[in-house]
Amino acid sequence: MEPDQMELDHVAIATTDAGPIIATLVTELGATVMYGGHNAGFRPMQLRVGDVDRGMTVEILEPWDTEKNDFLARFLARHGAGPHHMTFKVHGIEQHLERLQAAGYTPASVNFSNPMWKEMFLQPRETFGTVIQLAEMGAELWSRDEAIRTAMTEGPGGTPMWWPTPPPRGDQTAYLERIVLHVPELAPAREFFGGVLRGEVTDADSGSVDLLWPTSGARVRLEQRAGAAGVDRYDVDAGGNAREIEMAGARFVCS
C-alpha cells in the first residue's frame, strides 16, 4: 500500500449472540467463515460475503471479558445490536493522525504501542453516524486473498475458534456489493469519504454518491436523507433472488 492510500477492509456488526447472524450469512448468502479470536472486551470473527475477486468482509463482534474493557457491552446496552464500525487499513498511521488533527478531527483511543497493530478511531459525530477505525499492521502478516482462498478450501482459522459451527454453506455465493449510509447533506459526506478517507467517486447525482476503494474493491454509497446519519443497509448481489434479510439489527437487501 502506498503511503497516501487507504483501503476499506471490513465492516463490523455488534451483537450479543453471534451464532444466528453467522448461520444466516452462511446459509442464506453463502458466506465463508474466515477466522476469529479473543480480545479484551470482545471476541471478533470475520466472514467473506463473496469470494477472492468480489465481495466484502463482515466482522461480527460479541462481548467477551468485559471486566477488562466494556466498550462493546456499553454500545449494545445503549444502541442494541447493529452496525458498529468500518475499518480502513492505512500505511504510516502517525502521518494520518497528524493529517486528521490538522483538518480539525479528534481521533480517539489512539494506540500505537503495539508495533504489529496500531489503531485509532473517529467518532460518529464527526463521521456521519458510524465509528471509523483506522489501523496499520506492522508487517505483511497475511494476504487477504490468500486468507480467503485458505478459508474457502481448508476452513476457518484463528485461536480460539469460539463461534458455534455454522450449518453448511448455501449453494450460491452472494456478493456484498456496498455499504449504504444515509447522510443529511451529500457535499460534506462526499468530502469526508472521498477526501479524508481517500475513496474514489465512481458515480454521483443529486441524491447519492458512490465511492470505491480499489485495493480492496470495497464500495460505499452515500444517500441524502433527512434524519439521523449512519449505516442504513448492506446491498447484496444475490443473483436475482430479491429479498430483505434482517439479522442482529443489520439489514441486508438482496437483488
Q: How far is it, in rounded angstroms, from Cα 99 to Cα 17?
A: 38
- Topology adopted by domain 6-154: 2,3-Dihydroxybiphenyl 1,2-Dioxygenase; domain 1 (3.10.180)
Tens digit of each residue's pLDDT, the chain (255 residues): 666 679 999 999 999 999 999 999 999 999 999 999 999 999 999 999 999 999 999 999 999 999 999 999 999 999 999 999 999 999 999 999 999 999 999 999 999 999 989 999 999 999 999 999 999 987 655 678 888 999 999 999 998 999 999 999 988 899 999 999 999 999 999 999 999 999 999 999 999 999 999 999 999 999 999 999 999 999 999 999 999 999 999 999 999
Q: How far is it, in rounded angstroms, from Cα 189 to Cα 11?
A: 18
Q: So where are the chain's domains?
A: 6-154, 175-254
CATH fold match for the domains 6-154 and 175-254: no
- Topology adopted by domain 175-254: Immunoglobulin-like (2.60.40)
Closest CA to 54 of 117, 144, 142, 136: 144
* DSSP classification of residue 40: T
